[in-house]
Structure 1
Amino acid sequence: MQQETRASTENALRNYKTGIGQFTQKLPEVARAFNAFTEACFEEGTLSKKDKQLIALGISLVAQDEYCTIYHTKGCLDQGASEQEILEACGVATAFGGGAAMSQAVTLVQECVQELNQQTH
């Protein structure tokens, strides 16, 4: 199961990268505008980059967006969020998003944290 999860997380991240690359080739102006906008949104400000990633993770859970859930779980870890911080953000999301958000938090997020932490150690 662990190996299967690793492959699915790595595949999801790779698929997203491939997809955004293909999209950029076909609609470069749209991709540039989107990338500039999202980069500006995630810059350090009054809220830290880590806080912004935690917020994005919560939103992705409520929106049931698996790719964003994986991407922002990785973003949380990349910005130094602890597993406890990530799980607390998931808890807040489930308070708003209910069982659907909880199902993603207790499966996909925990699997991603475990797998991505193993890759860095």
Structure 2
Amino acid sequence: MTLMNDKVHAYKDQMGELSDVLPAVVKSYHEFTGECFQAGAIDAKTKQLIALGIGLFANNEVCTFYHVEEARAKGATDQEIMETVAVAGAVGGGHALSQGAMRVQKALH
């Protein structure tokens, strides 16, 4: 848990430093993402689980830790979080397999 907290805190610290250099960009980013993660047709917990899956697929360590933390804060259970991991694994495996089936086989012919 310490590694997760350290990484998330380091990210937040670095965003603070970036805000000193590019305040309008950071402000706009936070406004945009804040709006995107508001509950709407999709509830806030599900949006955090979606973001976690994308973070895993993108191999983004900070996003993975951050969105686990946020999903839990929104009421996600460990089971829901781990099922999100499984879905991200299925998408990642499907991505590689579909590209192999399409691109690689095409290249071979």
Structure 2 residue identity aligned to 1:15: A
- Say which SS state the counterpart of residue 42 (structure 2) adopts: coil
Matches of residues 10-89 of structure 1 in structure 2 within 5 Å?
10-89=5-84
1:89-117 Cα shifts (integer Å, max 9, x gaps) = 1111100113xxxxxxxxxxxxxxxxxxx
RMSD: 0.8
Alpha-carbon separation, structure 1, partners of 2:5 and 2:40: 30
- TM-score (norm. length: structure 2): 0.83
Q: Among all aligned residue pairs of Structure 1 and Structure 2, give the percentage whose two residues are the same amino acid.
A: 41
Q: Give the paired residue count.
A: 93
TM-score by length of 1: 0.75
Q: Distance in 1 between matches of 2:79 and 2:5?
A: 23
| Cα distance in 2, alignment partners of residues 80 and 23 from structure 1 | 31
SS in 2 for 1:52: helix
**Residue type at the aligned position of 1:19:** Q
Give the ranges of 4+ consecutive aligned residues of structure 1 lying more than 6 Å apart after TM superposition: none
User: Does 1:97 find its partner at 2:97?
Assistant: no
Whole-angstrom CA distance in 1 between matches of 2:4 and 2:45: 21
Higher normalized contact order (CA 8 Å, seq sep 6+, divided by chain length): 1
Per-residue deviation at 1:66? 0.2
CA distance in structure 1 between the partners assigned to 2:56 and 2:3 by the alignment: 17
Name the CA distance, whole Å, in 2 between partners of 1:64 and 1:72: 13
Unaligned runs of 5+ in 1: 1-5, 99-121
Unaligned runs of at least 5 residues, structure 2: 94-109
